[in-house]
Amino acid sequence: MLGCGVLLAAALVLAVRWRTYSLHVPAGGDKDSTPGGRAVQALTWRLCVGAYAGVLTGLLVVGPGGRLVMRLLAATSPEARGRLTEAEAVVGDITVGGTAFFVVFMSIAAAGIGLLYAVLQPALPRGLSGGALFGAGLLVIFGSTIDPLRSDNPDFDIVGPGWLAIVAFTTLAIGTGCFTAVAAARVGAALPRPDSWSFSMIALPAVAVSLPLPLLSWQAALIVVATGAVHLWFGVRPSAGPASPARAQLWIRGLLLVAVVALLPEFLSSLSTIAT
């Protein structure tokens, strides 16, 4: 648990240091390529940034933060000690190996969070405020359908109280969004241009960590694909001129708003069930 605390502290320090960075796709590109080619390059660059930022977020925030939340809920439910959770883990049984495996697994799984932020970022405010909004939106969209606030999760019948779980996981989600935003901006500042030879080599590991996303969450993969298609659609239409980015932003914001509004009732119902 001490190691998890150190990782979270490192995330806080890095977030403070990186808060002045802003994510911008490098302008220009290969002058000999078509508008479609440049749009593909820009989207590939975004996804690469997102994959690396997501891994960082999983390693420093989601993994250690999730483990600490589990420990907190176990500590407030001493009567549950020794019982099995939905994942067949023993409540109160904290091992170094189990914690390390969880953090590493979440580092890979969180690549999906970074990919989502990379394609949704144009529709969000810049900086920490946009990150917080992103984290809250993720919680509404995925919290009651996948994790961590599913009302049908039997773990909430074992550990609690429910209100503490809601507060802890909501705080973790918003913190995850904030760190993802600053990490993506910092990674973007460090990556080479998408039309450079060196970028193609850097992109290969990003592709590798992104491949499991459809298996982990087909819903997240669908959002990435749909939003990526919006980026490409407006990127290949030179006739739209300077208005293309604004129109793409409007469409992405609309897709995000529809998803949040559609899933908000189920999310609130899930919170009510867990709290009671």
The pLDDT value given to residue 1:
76
Q: What is the pTM of this model?
A: 0.91
pLDDT in tens, 53-93: 999 999 999 999 999 998 898 888 888 787 877 777 777 77
Does position 3 have pLDDT exceeding 60, yes or no? yes
| Band (135; pLDDT cuts 50, 70, 90) | very high
Find the helix or strand (DSSP H, E) in which 136 lies: helix 128-142
Distance between CA atoms of residues 188 and 254, nearest Å: 25
Q: In the prediction, which pLDDT does 28 show?
A: 56
pLDDT averaged over every residue in the chain: 88
Pick from 74, 61, 70, 41: nearest CA to 192: 41
DSSP letter, residue 193? P
Q: What is the dihedral of CA 257, 220, 175, 167, to 10 degrees?
A: 80
254 vs 229: CA distance, rounded Å = 14
Per residue in 112-124, pLDDT tens? Answer: 999 999 999 999 9
pLDDT at 156 over 90: no
* Packing angle of the helix pair 111-120, 162-190 (nearest 10 deg): 70
Name beta bridge partners: 84: 90
**What pLDDT, in 10s, does the model give residues 192-250?**
888 888 888 888 899 899 999 998 899 999 999 999 999 888 877 655 555 567 788 88
- 253-276 pLDDT tens trace: 998 999 999 999 999 999 999 998
Which residues, 6 or more positions from 142, have their beta carbon under 8 angstroms from its beta carbon? 217, 219, 220
Q: What is the pLDDT of residue 229?
A: 92
Whole-angstrom Cα Rg for the chain: 20
